[in-house]
Structure 1
């Protein structure tokens, strides 16, 4: 029987593209309220695993359960990304995917509409005015909470890079997730922005009662905020555990730095 505290359960996940096995028999669990990191060298298969979890890819083998419900396996068609978002999984991407010409406010409001209870009839005859007003009020409140309200009328693409990352996370929060998946949220950030991001992730985890799964290359961020870490290399898990245990694992050191002979060469 599955642990009731397990939000995400991944069993023997495999994703193969032709002769290339991008994720190889990967199993992991993410428990409620945790911040869990998935690390590994470039090309290790981290984003591919994310794509299987969020419905972008249909896994070759294995399965993914979210809150006790199977959302992806090799025996049936996986849920689509929008269906998975409605179930309570939101994600960000390595490359920022905002609507750059839309305002900051509209970027978040669009995400709010994902849970709107409306149809073409109610929209045409403006029978959903109260719901639209509520969505706008909730969007404004979310922007204030994330320190983005003063940029509400700015085009999203004109924001400083670090603020664009924060906006992308705010947009994910607007979908009302239980699990927030962050794909390299500190990419392109300077050390100060990275420190601020680490604090921000902890704050939103606590404020919104979230569980967080992140891919990240900034080891100071990962080691500072993670409750548990999984490390994969060539698609296969090579280590897992508490940050200090994973950081000192010889297989992890070798994956990132090469063998001792290679380092001495």
Structure 2
């Protein structure tokens, strides 16, 4: 430890840090609650980041397609990343969720196919987003064409519904609450594999999804509103957090769900 006159003798002009204080960004406000489920309008960032995703090739029945050497055929698909300064921005919300207007949402969408609807048509989440932006790519468009197409819509607007889900991951060490229930600490055990959603149901493959617990949230007028709890104490004791998923993509001009 040194006083000012003493510490000044320890540095030279070459030791000056390269911080430009006039252009430093604002500090993060710390933990921000996840935007609550509901209908929102979003704006795309000015720039987007991209990554590749490797998936197993499957036939119409969902069976993996094998190569001649008996290995599973792999496909590359595009992932568009909304994060690290390029997040989605909430620009409109329903009255009960107005506090989230102006908030940023970290998210990612992929053009990886999955089957949807009674006719089991091949769709992708990025396809739903592109259609909401008014962009219809032809079947067989390359990943590069997908990337260029979504880049054209920088700062574009669309509407979607936020839904929450949560997963107690059995392949990761779980977090549990400490004795004071004040913070999460890493545990030696893994998660149990339980899934949570906004309603209880059983998937086609037999996987059970439990409903996210609800809490009574105090309102400014002294009343209480029943809301989903963002934090869940799983049946195995793990502390599990809900994450947002975008659903029901639609044009910015379409107000309300379809």
TM range (shorter): under 0.3
Q: Structure 2 length as normaliser, TM-score?
A: 0.24
Looking at secondary structure, tell me which structure has more strand per residue: 2
Q: Which has the larger radius of gyration?
A: 2
Looking at secondary structure, tell me which structure has more helix per residue: 1
Q: Structure 1 length as normaliser, TM-score?
A: 0.23
